[in-house]
Amino acid sequence: MQYDLLSRFKNETAASHTRLENALDLMRDDLRRDDYIALLERFYGYVAPWEDAAGAAMPDALRAFFDERRKAAWLVADLDVLTGERLPAGSVSCADALYDLPRLPSIGAVFGSMYVMEGSTLGGRYIAPHVAQLLDLEPSKGNAYFEAYGPRTGSMWNAFREIAARVVPASQYDAAVSAAIATFDSLHAWLCPEVLDSEAAPGVNA
C-alpha cells in the first residue's frame, strides 16, 4: 500500500511522459552543441520559476528536503561552461511568457509536480554520459543538470517516494496526479513549442 500514489503517478502520467520524452529526443546522435545550449536555456526558463513557486508552496518542515533538490544552479553552471555567460542574454522565463506553470494549491499538487521534476533525474543517468560523449564535454562540465545527484540519484529518488507516500493524504491523490500531468504538459509546451506548432498545423490548414 505504501506506493499507491506512486503507482498512480506512473500509470496515469505515462502518455504525457512519453509524449515529452519523444519530443525532446535527447538520446539522438545528431544533437548539435547550439541546439543543446538552446535547450538548456529553455530548461532554465522553466526550472527557475518552477522552483520558486514550488518552494513557496512547500511546508516549512519540508523546506530543507526541497532545497536539497533545487537544480536551477546546475543549469546556470552548465551554461557558463558552454557559453561563458551565467545567464545568456535574451533568456526568457516561463513565468513571463504565455505558458502557465502548474498550479500548486496543496501539498498533493506540489508533490505531483515534483514527481515530474525529480523523476527526470532517472533519465538523466543515461542522457548525461550520452551528451558528454557526443559534445566532448569534461566530466560534470556542461551536463551537470542531467547528471543531477550522480551516484546518489537512486537514494534521492527513493527518499522522494517515501516522503511523498507519507505526506500526501489519500484525499489529494487526484490533485497530485492532475498536477503531475499538468507539469508534463506545460514542460512540453515550453520546451517544444515548434512541435506543438507542427501538431496544430493540419487542423489550421484543414
In this predicted structure, what is the pLDDT of residue 101?
A: 87
Longest dimension (CA), the chain: 53
Shortest CA distance to 101 belongs to which of 88, 112, 86?
A: 112
**Are 40 and 73 a contacting pair, CB within 8 Å?**
no
Q: Is residue 108 part of a domain?
A: yes
Q: Is residue 202 part of a domain?
A: no
Q: Is residue 47 part of a domain?
A: yes
Residue 152 is part of a domain; what is its CATH number? Answer: 1.20.910.10
Q: Is residue 206 part of a domain?
A: no
Q: Is residue 40 part of a domain?
A: yes
Close Cβ partners of 81 (under 8 Å, ≥ 6 residues apart): 137, 141, 142
Instruction: Take residue 83 and report the three cell numbers written for it.
Output: 557559453
What is the rounded average pLDDT of the residues 130-158?
95
Shortest CA distance to 120 belongs to which of 62, 77, 64, 184?
A: 184
Q: Is residue 162 part of a domain?
A: yes
How far apart, in whole angstroms, are the C-alpha atoms of residue 47 and residue 30?
25
Torsion of CA 167, 168, 170, 173, to 10 degrees: -160
Expressed as residue numbers, the domain containing 131 is 4-197
Q: Is residue 203 part of a domain?
A: no
pTM attached to this predicted model:
0.89
Q: How many domains does the chain have?
A: 1
pLDDT in tens, 56-104: 999 999 999 999 999 999 999 999 999 987 665 556 666 665 457 899 9
